[in-house]
Amino acid sequence: MKAVNELIVKIVQLMPKSLVRLFASSYIAGDTLEEAVALVKKFNADGIMATMDVLGESISSKEEALYAKSQAFEVLDAIHEHQLLANLSIKPTQFGLLLDEEFCYQQVRDVLQYARERNNFIRLDMEDSTTTDPIIRLYKRLRKEFSNTGIVMQACLRRTYDDVSHLNEEAANYRLCKGIYIEPEAIAYRTRQGVRDNYLKLLRRMLEDKKYTGIATHDDYLLAGAKKLIKELNISPDAYEFQMLLGVRADLRQKLVKEGNKLRVYVPFGKEWYAYSIRRLKENPNMAMDIFKNLFRMN
């Protein structure tokens, strides 16, 4: 099955982007902020929160970072205007992390200040392993001034438990995910069970240390393990939430909500949808098989 999925990914990358977009549309809210707002309103009506994200990363100029900041302001204004149950995720490389760390800090600080004035929250996404240290440095520096910020931690990385141990000293707020980037085995767990085991180890540490945690997974094994930990540690429903990707396992979303859990859906949008779609395709075998089936239906 893995070989089949990898073959499908290679085939998809040879397709015209317009065709890929047809398959990727379930995983992206649209090109515009208006489309994302409309979708978030539908989720909110069903008792589901959202994290909005303007797609894009690894910019090459400070002008692009300034534009990313202006887009973040627009999203925060829209959330405030429409009274959405939503916050904003940002990628540090989209704000100039790889160009100038001090410049990036100033841009993200401006966004956090803008969000605080609107009673909102900013999540710093984690990116590939070459950016882990500077993202953690950025987060720790911002956290000293702003409580309305959190960070993403990836269970695939071997270093993450130590990172969490240090961040827990600073009242961190987490989204815990498996991790989407393909990393060398020397620094990352490469087997499915290895990542799962580390995920639950990390989740236990976060919950035991009473850190608010977004449990981001669609894996039934991890969801069962998370529920077991929540019960075992007697964790308050206000101390965690479940998080899922747009377009993935809508049936499970409804089940979690019916069980009384807080749930947040990741709602990405924007014109830079292609790279995101390919990464998700590589990570998600179900998405690959959906495309495979749709190809046959089109013939």
The average pLDDT across 17-32 equals: 81
The average pLDDT across 77-95 equals: 98
CATH number attached to the domain at 33-269: 3.20.20.220
**Concatenated DSSP letters of the chain:** -HHHHHHHHHHHHTS-HHHHHHHHGGG---SSHHHHHHHHHHHHHTT-EEEEEE-----SSHHHHHHHHHHHHHHHHHHHHHT-SEEEEE-GGGGTTTT-HHHHHHHHHHHHHHHHHTT--EEE----GGGHHHHHHHHHHHHTT-SSEEEEEETTBTTHHHHHHHHGGGT--EEEE---S---TTTB--SHHHHHHHHHHHHHHHHHTT--EEEE---HHHHHHHHHHHHHTT--GGGEEEEEETTS-HHHHHHHHHTT--EEEEEEESS-HHHHHHHHHHH-HHHHHHHHHHHHHH-
Question: Of residues 279 and 267, which shows the higher confidence score?
Answer: 267
Whole-angstrom distance, CA of residue 41 vs CA of residue 3:
39
The average pLDDT across 269-274 equals: 87
Take residue 194 and report the two structure tokens written for it. Answer: 């290895």
pTM for the whole structure = 0.90
Chain-wide mean pLDDT for the chain? 91
* 149, β-bridge pairs: 122
260 φ/ψ sector (left φ>0, alpha ψ -120 to 50, else beta):
left
What is the per-residue pLDDT for 64?
96
What is the per-residue pLDDT for 22?
72
Q: Which residues are designated catalytic?
A: 125, 175
The answer on pLDDT for 297 being more than 60 is: no
What is the per-residue pLDDT for 1?
57
The average pLDDT across 12-38 equals: 83
The answer on pLDDT for 299 being more than 50 is: no
Whole-angstrom distance, CA of residue 12 vs CA of residue 8:
6
The average pLDDT across 65-84 equals: 98
What is the per-residue pLDDT for 81?
98
What is the per-residue pLDDT for 272?
84
Question: Of residues 87 and 170, which shows the higher confidence score?
Answer: 87
187 confidence band (pLDDT: 50, 70, 90): very high
- Domain positions in the chain are 1-28+282-299, 33-269
293 confidence band (pLDDT: 50, 70, 90): low
